[in-house]
Structure 1
Amino acid sequence: MVDLGLTHIALPVADIERSIAFYRAYAAMEVIHHRVDQATGVKVVWLSDHTRPFAIVLIEQAEVQPLLTPLAHLGVGCKSREAVDTLCNLARQEGCLLQDPQDSGYPVGYWAFLRDPDGHTLELSYGQEVGLTVESS
């Protein structure tokens, strides 16, 4: 068996533990693989939320230029508007809320942007039907 289709996105990060904590808190992701590359000494971690065969690969680098900045972003569907609000309140307290939640109607739904520790953008949403559209197409 081999992987087919879109399997991951790789992001450079300055502090891999700080990034793991961010994606654990805001995207319900956990480490599924970790290693130190033998040739370079670089720390590499794969994260998954176990909802589909897709991972975020974090690669620790001394210098990071944010790659995913609005509008380029990772999108995470939440189970309710309240879940989005709860996470946004936490993000506001932690200083990483980039854009307050707003309701853009169908098909965009209720969404907000957060900034991860390296400046990459994470969208939290409720009411988008990306996964449902893929399944029904």
Structure 2
Amino acid sequence: MTVDVGLTHIALAASNLDKSIAFYARYARMVVVHDRIDTETDIRVIWLSDKTRPFVVVLFQLDKPKVILEPLAHLGVGCSSREEVDSLSKQAKEEGVLIKEPTDSGYPVGYWALLKDPDGHTLELSYGQEIGLTIDKT
């Protein structure tokens, strides 16, 4: 059995978990890895993961969640190319969830765009931030 160490999750309230699941599946390639009704609070709780590392976004059902992640606070997702950022941004614009068009901010920030999830939390799509390479250098 592996014991989790380090940063493992962020927890956010969501008013409609099914809408949030669809949003994060579409824009962050995340899937539900855990879904339950909390026995103490009777609140539905889900864990979403992109299955690339032991980290999940925990979403719990609340009728009127307070938006915590709004620019500049955000979740960041690395994309495989600028074209992927562009394609997802175009889709987000068509769906009315694009906050900021793709922008090239150069090294180390890279190419990025901002979207809002169904409750207004911000998701950043990026390419070229080189976070992994930066960590490897330290």
**Is residue 37 of structure 1 aligned with residue 38 of structure 2?**
yes
2:7 is paired with a residue whose SS is coil
The percentage of counterpart residues that share the same residue type is 60
**Is residue 70 of structure 1 aligned with residue 71 of structure 2?**
yes
Q: 1:60 & 1:74 partners in 2: Cα distance? A: 19
- Summarize the alignment of residues 93-104 of structure 1 with structure 2, pairs less than 5 Å apart: 93-104=94-105
* Residue equivalent to 1:84: 85
Structure 1: 4+ residue segments shifted above 4 A: none
Aligned residues: CA RMSD = 0.8
Q: Which amino acid aligns with 1:120?
A: H
* Residue equivalent to 1:110: 111
Unaligned runs of 5+ in 1: none
1:59 is paired with a residue whose SS is strand
Unaligned runs of 5+ in 2: none
Q: Tell me the TM-score normalised to structure 1 length.
A: 0.97
Aligned residues: 137
Q: Tell me the TM-score normalised to structure 2 length.
A: 0.97
Post-superposition offset of 1:39 = 1.6
* Residue equivalent to 1:16: 17
Post-superposition offset of 1:101 = 0.3
